[in-house]
């Protein structure tokens, strides 16, 4: 275990070592490691799709043309600044329209 490895590494401990503090430090590190490994196990996301790809495309096509173009560029990997520069729009307008498109698609 990790505690035995730690003890073996520190076999040459000084006589005035605070054993209680040393054990506390080891237990704290073990707790943190176990906590984060449990969190990583719980962070698993199931990527089963509930909707058909054609249904998603149909929803995107129902967007107004201004929103559809911005949203399509956004999901293609362009960031907000690139979209604003390419379409010659203010950055704030790009963010608002993409946000509207996302909320519209979630509600429909």
Report the alpha-carbon distance of residue 106 to residue 4 in Å, rounded: 53
42 versus 33: the higher-pLDDT residue is 33
Helix, strand, coil percentages, rounded to 5, for the chain: 70, 0, 30
What are the pLDDT digits (tens) for 85-102? 999 999 999 999 999 998
Q: What is the mean pLDDT of residues 15-20?
A: 70
C-alpha distances in Å from residue 105, one per residue of 11, 48, 61, 79: 62, 19, 10, 19
* Residue listed under structure tokens 């089963």: 48
How much is the pLDDT for 96? 94
Tell me: pLDDT of 104 over 60.
Answer: yes
- DSSP state, residue 89: -
Q: What is the mean pLDDT of residues 15-36?
A: 81
Answer yes or no: pTM beyond 0.85. no
C-alpha distances in Å from residue 81, one per residue of 48, 74, 97: 32, 10, 13
Q: Which CATH number fits domain 53-107: 1.10.3720.10, 3.40.190.10, 3.30.70.1560, 1.10.10.10?
A: 1.10.10.10
């Amino acid at each position: 275990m990790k505690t035995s490895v730690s003890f073996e590494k520190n076999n040459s401990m000084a006589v005035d070592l605070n054993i209680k503090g040393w054990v506390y430090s080891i237990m704290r590190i073990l707790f943190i490691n176990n906590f984060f490994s449990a969190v990583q196990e719980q962070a698993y996301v199931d990527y089963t799709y509930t909707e058909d790809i054609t249904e998603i495309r149909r929803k995107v096509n129902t967007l107004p043309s201004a929103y559809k173009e911005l949203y399509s560029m956004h999901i293609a990997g362009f960031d907000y600044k690139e979209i604003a520069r390419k379409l010659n729009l203010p950055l704030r307008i790009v963010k608002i329209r993409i946000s509207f498109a996302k909320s519209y698609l979630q509600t429909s």
